[in-house]
Structure 1
Amino acid sequence: MKPHRSDTHVRLDSVTNNALDDAAGPGGLTVGATASRVEVTVRTLHHWDAIGLVRPSGRSTSGYRLYSAADLARIHRVLIYRELGLSLDDIGALLDAPTVDMTVPLRLQRAQLLDRISRLQAMVDAVDRMIEAASAGTLLSAEEQVAIFGQRWKPSLAEGAHDRWGDTPQWAQYAERAAGMTPDDWQQIADNVVTLEHDLAAAKRAGVRPGSTEANALAERHRTSIDAYFDCTLSMQVCLGKKYAADPGFTAYYDAIEPGLTLWLRDIIDANARDRGVDPDSATWT
């Protein structure tokens, strides 16, 4: 059976034959004509001559470079190998080797291309996950959300959050982080929130006063819990505390944990911000 010839082998033969047909007689082509014929710059041909990659075989009576049919064939081989991604040094070594096994560099280049395809596919997958996270609010299924966040959690809350904040930089940051989170990551976040809410409720029942060391530490833990989604400044946290107190949904959520917890949480957030140089009355979402 006749061995299979790759497209690259066929192309090499084709360009070699074309080069032989196009050579301008025994004198050859000038550097300008050669550059035009092979569609590279004169400067490129000069560079290849200087590094010994493609040296013209002849000179005119005036001393100008003249490229023969064999020179053009070598140039075309250089262009093909460059298209495959080989360096000029590797191309020179390949062309000047006593016996040329074309499969060696081609197999190497194939492996490199497959690796690049794999990395690009991973990037595409990551972008797809970011798009999905940005649109849906989370990559968890409805069942996974309830299992992780508890029976009080409503999957529609994620959609509502997207409708409310989907065009903000913070949502974009959240989507980027959410795209890389696994169910185990979400479970850790949920467990931390449950612990924080338990400690907030216990402190409220114990009469911990806003502005105290203990209250400020809890306020900072609350801000850190927001940092899991996006970078939350003191000023942003104050705005969130006000939102909790003004929104019936948030109020019902926190007050179900401990009566009056919503307003107390807002107050410890404000007091902590004030102690750290942020005026709660003039705080903005920055």
Structure 2
Amino acid sequence: MADVTDADGLTVGQVSTRLGVTVRALHHWDEIGLARPSLRTAAGYRLYTAGDLERLHRIVVYREIGLGLDRIQAVLDDSATDVPGALRAQRAQVAERIERLQQLSAGLDRMIEAHERGLLLTTEQQAAIFGPQWKPDWPVRARQRYGDTTQWRQYAERSASRSPEEWQAVADAVADLDRVLGDAMEAGVTPGSPEANRLVERHREVFASYFPLTRQMQVCLSRMYETDPGFAAHYDGIRTGLATWFRKIVDASARAHGIDPDTATWQ
């Protein structure tokens, strides 16, 4: 190359700053012949001319829209390349990515809302799915009480992706379990029996629609069913004494798995 001075062009560092491209990338493009500096000083430093910068600008644009380096080189140097066709194909891919990002954004909006509200259902949908006894402020109260727990986060993640039809299936499963529990108590199923233990396992499976329920957590939950006035009224409304009977079958199952119900904690 001709002997030149720095005034004849821009150094690698200057081009890196001007274009927002790393020096390493510029060196790589030089090595593969994609964008070689046209000049070099007597000391051996690379210098980029105005024409080099124009080529680099095109490379940066093509790279930002997703073209690979091989494809960029073909677009720039191969006269047989259908440049408009290549760009149209890339535009279609960009449109697909935009659509995916929009879907991701909508999903994130739902996730945020689920963490803040719990249920992504209208008041009318809640009443239709969960019945007239459902109170719309229950999710708000639950958020205030449990919003900083792992279980609330797990519940929110499920809620964010759940449709009204899926919530209806959850509500139906819970109602069916309540009915089966009431029938079992009335039939005299005893705590610790195989049938009682199967019902305890079924309760854990149904409850997993909200968040995973460990055996120790189930013991704590059964205590709340018995002592909380709202829960106790719900279960005793199905069968008198059902809340207490359910606590007993959970305790018996817990003992069979080496858990002392009296010392069980929410973990």
Indicate the TM-score class for this superposition, using the shorter chain for normalisation: 0.7 to 0.9
Contact 2:74/2:81 (8 A) holds in 1: no
State the SS of the aligned residue for 1:280. Answer: coil
Match of 1:263 in 2: 244
Partner of 1:84: 65
Q: Match for 1:209 among 168, 190, 194?
A: 190
Q: Quote the offset at 1:156 in angstroms.
A: 2.6
Q: How much has 1:158 moved relative to structure 2?
A: 2.4
For residues 14-36 of structure 1, give each alpha carbon's deviation from its aligned partner in whole angstroms, at most 9, with x where no partner exists: xxxxxxxxx97997666566656
1:178 is matched with which residue: 143, 147, 159? 159
Residue from 87, 110, 128 that aligns with 2:109: 128
Partner deviation per Cα, 1:53-98 (whole Å, 9 max, x = no partner) = 1234455566665544433332232223223332211111111121
Q: Indicate the larger mover: 113-122 or 97-106.
A: 97-106
Is the Cα contact below 8 Å between 1:27 and 1:60 reproduced in 2? no
Identity in percent: 54
1:71 aligns with 2:52: yes
Distance 2:266 2:248 in 1: 18
CA contact (8 A) 1:244 1:262 kept: yes
- RMSD across aligned positions (CA): 2.7
Instruction: Choose from 107, 121, 125 the match for 1:144.
Output: 125
Deviation at 1:112, TM superposition (A): 2.3
Task: For residue 281 of structure 1, give the secondary structure of its aligned residue in structure 2.
Answer: coil
User: After superposition, what is the alpha-carbon deviation per residue over 1:114-173, rounded to whole angstroms, capped at 9, x for unaligned?
Assistant: 222211111121122122222222112222222222222222322222222122110111
In the TM superposition, residue 176 of structure 1 has moved relative to its aligned partner by: 0.8
1:53 corresponds, among 34, 56, 61, to 34
Encode CA deviations 1:207-258: one digit per residue, 9 max, x unaligned: 1111111111111111111111001100100010111111111111100000
Within 2, Cα distance between the matches of 1:33 and 1:128? 41
Change in 2 beyond 3 A, CA 1:236/1:77: same
The reply to whether residue 189 of structure 1 matches residue 170 of structure 2 is: yes
Q: Letter of the aligned partner of 1:284 in structure 2? A: T
Q: Which residue of 2 aligns with 1:237?
A: 218
Could you say if the C-alpha distance between residues 39 and 170 of structure 1 is closer, same or farther in structure 2, counting changes exceeding 3 Å? closer
1:197 counterpart letter in structure 2: D
Letter in 2 for 1:74: R
After TM superposition, where is structure 1 displaced by more than 6 Å over at least 4 residues in a row? 23-27
Aligned 8 A contact 2:6 2:47 in 1: no
| Stretch deviating more after TM superposition (204-213 or 34-43) | 34-43
Q: Is the 8 A contact 1:26 1:68 kept in 2?
A: no
CA distance in 2, matches of 1:66, 1:217: 78
Q: 1:200 maps to which residue?
A: 181
Shift of 1:199: 1.0
Letter in 1 for 2:226: A
In structure 2, the partner of 1:281 is 262
1:209 partner SS: coil
Q: 1:218 aligns with which of 193, 199, 222?
A: 199
Residue equivalent to 1:9? none
Moved more, 152-161 or 263-272: 152-161
TM score, norm. by length of structure 2 = 0.87
- Asked if the contact 2:6–2:41 (Cα under 8 Å) also holds between the matched residues in 1, the reply is no
* Structure 2: gaps (5+ residues): none
Greater C-alpha Rg = 1
